[in-house]
């Protein structure tokens, strides 16, 4: 009979450490394959005298399917949102050099440059005049319009003063007045502004149109686009 001396039977034995590589994009989440593997194991090891209730099993499967469906929906929505942003960016870039309608009667212009505007009214109006005022509030030109119907009516100021000279570059505004039901009233005036450039990541991630005159507006606020 041999005698073992000089230490333990474990001497010289080395445990090899196995490397575990986490599955790509596993993130510790239970996959559909894992769920059905667990369900199969549960059914295989259940007490024959106390089988799993059908309603309980269906409830588990329904809950997992719902969770899995929500996850897929979130992934699809993220992809959809990214696609929408790209589409909006392409749409916005196509507006550079064109004019958009702005709900503002104040505008900036270059010397003698024609400016297009729009009168908006809920009721027909008569004896309508457009008064072009400079930054000091002085009327530099009066444009007679006459009668307009309910809705919108576009107009163009030629950029000239009452004396026929080119109005200097600067800030101006349109003031529109007329008779509505025989009463003197001021009507809403909007202006068309040319898009100089586009900012694709503005406030809150919105797409901004940079207009001539230094102001900006969100792409979502555009109500009308005009050539030139």
Residue 35 confidence (pLDDT) above 80: no
Residue 126 confidence (pLDDT) above 90: yes
Q: Is 101 exposed, middle or buried (0-12, 13-18, 19+ CB in 10 A)?
A: buried
Write out the residue range of the structural domain in which residue 161 sits.
Answer: 99-226
CA-CA-CA-CA dihedral for 47, 53, 59, 64, to nearest 10:
20
Residue 217 confidence (pLDDT) above 80: yes
Residue 33 confidence (pLDDT) above 60: yes
* Residue 184 in domain: yes
* Residue 159 in domain: yes
Q: What would the pLDDT profile of 8-19 be if each residue is shown by its tens digit?
A: 444 444 545 555
Structure tokens at 14: 């080395």
* Residue 110 in domain: yes
Q: What would the pLDDT profile of 163-191 be if each residue is shown by its tens digit?
A: 999 999 989 999 999 999 989 999 999 99
Note if the pTM is more than 0.85: no
The residue that leads in pLDDT, 43 or 21, is 43
Residue 40 confidence (pLDDT) above 80: no
Structure tokens at 117: 């505007």
Query: Could you give the 3-state DSSP secondary structure of residue 145?
Result: strand
Average pLDDT over the chain reads: 75
* Residue 41 in domain: no
The residue that leads in pLDDT, 52 or 87, is 87
The residue that leads in pLDDT, 41 or 153, is 153
* Residue 140 in domain: yes
* Residue 171 in domain: yes
Residue 139 confidence (pLDDT) above 60: yes
Residue 131 confidence (pLDDT) above 90: yes
Is there a contact between 200 and 89 (Cβ–Cβ < 8 Å)?
yes
* Residue 30 in domain: no
Mean pLDDT of 151-155: 90
**Residue 196, domain CATH:** 2.60.40.4070
pLDDT of residue 179: 94
* Total count of domains within the chain: 1
* Residue 75 in domain: no
Residue 74 confidence (pLDDT) above 70: no
């Amino acid at each position: 009979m041999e005698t073992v001396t000089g230490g333990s039977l474990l001497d010289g034995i080395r445990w090899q450490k196995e490397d575990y590589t986490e599955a790509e994009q596993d993130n510790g989440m239970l996959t559909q394959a894992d769920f059905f593997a667990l369900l199969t194991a549960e059914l295989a090891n259940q007490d024959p005298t106390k089988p799993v209730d059908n309603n309980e099993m269906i409830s588990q499967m329904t809950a997992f399917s719902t969770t899995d469906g929500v996850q897929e929906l979130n992934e699809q929505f993220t992809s959809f949102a990214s696609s929408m942003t790209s589409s909006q960016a392409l749409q916005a870039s196509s507006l550079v050099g064109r004019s958009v309608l702005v709900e503002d009667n104040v505008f900036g212009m270059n010397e003698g440059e024609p400016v297009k505007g729009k009168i908006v009214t809920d009721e027909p109006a008569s004896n309508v005049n457009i008064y072009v005022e400079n930054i000091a509030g002085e009327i530099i030109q009066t444009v007679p319009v006459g009668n307009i119907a309910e809705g919108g009516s576009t107009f163009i100021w030629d950029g000239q003063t009452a004396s026929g000279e080119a109005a200097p570059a600067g800030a101006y505004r349109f003031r529109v007045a007329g008779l509505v039901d025989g009463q003197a009233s001021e009507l809403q005036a909007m202006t068309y502004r040319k898009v100089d450039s586009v900012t694709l990541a503005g406030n809150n991630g919105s797409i901004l149109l940079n207009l001539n005159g230094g102001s900006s507006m969100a792409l979502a606020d555009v109500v009308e686009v005009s050539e030139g």
